[in-house]
Structure 1
Amino acid sequence: MRGRSGPVYLVVDGHPAHKANAVKSLIKEMEGRLELHFLPPYAPDLNPDEFVWAYMKTNGVSKKPLRKNESLKERVQSDLATIKGNRRLVKSFFGAESVAYTND
């Protein structure tokens, strides 16, 4: 947030964690530098996270069996780290028409 001239806008779903008192306090402390915008209930087509999970289902965890002594959690974390390292792929999750609002 350092060095930004305007506020940061976070688009979040309706998960209770996003509405917790601790989050509300943080937003208040930020004095307008951080704003939350809530997606409507059950709107997966508007949520870029859903594109990540769809990619994971078709290219990640389900494509290769877990290695001996590897947990599902470890695999998911590894796959997410791989996605995080691929800037072009991450940008593609925001290219769908239904999430064009994130590019304004």
Structure 2
Amino acid sequence: MIYEQTLTAKVLIEFMSRLIQGQPKKIFLILDNLKAHRSQAVRAGLEARRERIEVFDLPAYSPELNPDELLNSDLKGVLHGGLPAKTKAELKRKARSHLYRLQKRPDRIRRYFKQPKIQRFYGHENTGKIL
């Protein structure tokens, strides 16, 4: 989901609804300390979907533990590589294209979680789950 407005609780709830739509397995979502992530509305939305989505909250000020930062870096590399986008529409197309390719490459996404600091934080000793 690409959004242009500020990330609010309403936008995040819409994202979570779209994320779980049609997914047969439970979704694991990582959230940082953005104000919208901690809102009452988001927490209520998560509670209502707890069978379908589980959240892992990052400690405050810990971008080095956020696999999303690796995705952002990956995406920026693609967006800055090759011919530059000349319009907002071209930039969106380029971003969507890369993100769709990533959806078909779970091995690449798993690599974000295999970085040493990230793996220690999200490893089974912290979450009870094996990544």
Does residue 63 of structure 1 match 2:64?
Answer: no
Helix, strand or coil: the match of 1:51?
helix
Deviation at 1:102, TM superposition (A): 2.3
**Which of 95, 106, 109 does residue 76 from structure 1 map onto?**
95
Distance change in 2, residues 1:82/1:35 (3 Å): closer
Q: Is 1:89 the counterpart of 2:105 in the alignment? A: no
1:53, 1:75 → 2: CA distance?
14
- Higher RCO structure, 1 or 2 (CA under 8 Å, sep 6+): 1
| CA distance 1:43–1:82, shift in 2 (3 Å) | same
Change (3 A) 1:55 1:8: closer
Which residue number in structure 2 is paired with residue 51 of structure 1?
70
Shift in Å, 1:43:
1.4
Match of 1:102 in 2: 122
| Cα root mean square deviation, aligned | 2.8
SS of residue matched to 1:41:
coil
1:77 deviates by 1.5
How many residues align? The count is 100
Residues 67, 57 of structure 1: CA spacing in aligned structure 2 closer, same or farther, 3 A cutoff? closer
Question: Rg: which structure is higher?
Answer: 1
1:74 is paired with a residue whose SS is: helix
| CA–CA separation in structure 2 for the residues paired with 1:74 and 1:8 | 26
Cα deviation 1:10-49 (Å, max 9, x = unaligned): 431112221222212123335x645533212221110000
Partner SS state of residue 83, structure 2: coil
Q: Is the 8 A contact 2:32 2:59 kept in 1?
A: yes
**Who is 1:16 aligned against?**
35
